[in-house]
Amino acid sequence: MIYRHLGNIFPRIRDLASLWVYFFLCLPAQAQQDQWIDLTHELSADAVFWPTAEPFKMTANFEGMTEGGYYYSAYSFTTAEHGGTHIDAPVHFAKGKHHVNEIPLEQLIGNAVVVDVSVQVAKNRDHLISVADLLAWESEYGKIPTHSIVLLFTGFGSYWPDAQKYLGTALRGEAGAAALSFPGLNVDAAEWLLSQRHIKAVGIDTASIDYGASRKFSAHVMLMTHNVPAFENVANLDKLPPKGSFV
């Protein structure tokens, strides 16, 4: 994972639960020629945010020709943590666990597998990704390697940035949070990935690693209690192979 543009503030963000992922790139290791794929959505006024979170806002401090005869532009922006493609640090759901700047860099870099559950999700948009789904993937592609980054492809990325389709609701505030509808990871599958496959991190192309109707956020709690971060709103997972990528 490569962070650009935010490097100057990275040391100061230890109190944030998440960080925007500006360049989340993947390199298919088996390809004859390297291919870089950007796995992020653009952070803009159109970006999808959690219903109770403030959306992205940017203002121009200055934009135009100066008295000195040269062009100059500078901007300010405000945004909540949980919008656009971002990382949930373990402290988001586990007291005393890693803040973003405390996550070892090697935990954010490594071999990735993409588990495609889009067929199941097409039948039920609130599908809970199960151990059976993971075992079905392994029956075709082999055992998920130890210390992998597991990316869950639901197909919801195709709905971005239509909040009604992506989140299941365009409502804002608590009413929006109560109406959320999208797939996520079952807590039993999260525990299995931790105990049986010893993964580094997990990512998904929805707004949360837990499914939309969750009220206890059990997958978050399970993963983050074990200091495993989650990437949310990941883009372009349909462009990655099931295995052989390096993130």
Percent of the chain whose predicted confidence (pLDDT) is above 90? 85
The band of 221, judged by pLDDT with boundaries at 50, 70 and 90, is very high
Instruction: Quote the pLDDT of residue 77.
Output: 95
Of the candidates 54, 43, 104, the one whose C-alpha atom is nearest the C-alpha of residue 229 is: 104
Residues 6+ apart with CB under 8 A from 3: 10, 19, 21, 22, 23
- What average pLDDT score do residues 39-55 get? 95
What sign does the CA torsion over 33, 85, 21, 210 have?
negative
Share the mean pLDDT of the chain.
Answer: 90
> Buried (b) or exposed (e) across 137-146, using 16+ Cβ within 10 A?
beeeeeebee
Instruction: Quote the pLDDT of residue 104.
Output: 97
Q: What share of the chain is helix, strand, coil (3-state, %, to 5)?
A: 25, 25, 50
Q: Considering only residues 144 and 28, tell me which one the structure prediction assigns the higher pLDDT.
A: 144
Q: At what angle do helices 187-197 and 218-225 cross, to 10 degrees?
A: 20
Judged by average pLDDT, the poorest of 3-12, 72-81, 103-112 is 3-12
Q: What are φ and ψ of residue 107, in 5° steps?
A: -80, -15
Q: From CA 214, how far away is CA 219, in angstroms rounded? A: 9
CA atoms within 13 A on the CB side of 74: 4
Of the candidates 76, 137, 139, the one whose C-alpha atom is nearest the C-alpha of residue 112 is: 137
At 73, list the tokens: 């532009």
Question: Does residue 23 surpass a pLDDT of 60?
Answer: no
The pLDDT tens digits of the residues spanning 93-129 come to: 999 999 999 999 999 999 999 999 999 999 999 999 9
The pLDDT tens digits of the residues spanning 10-22 come to: 333 344 445 444 4
Cβ count within 10 A of residue 221: 16
Instruction: Quote the pLDDT of residue 34.
Output: 77
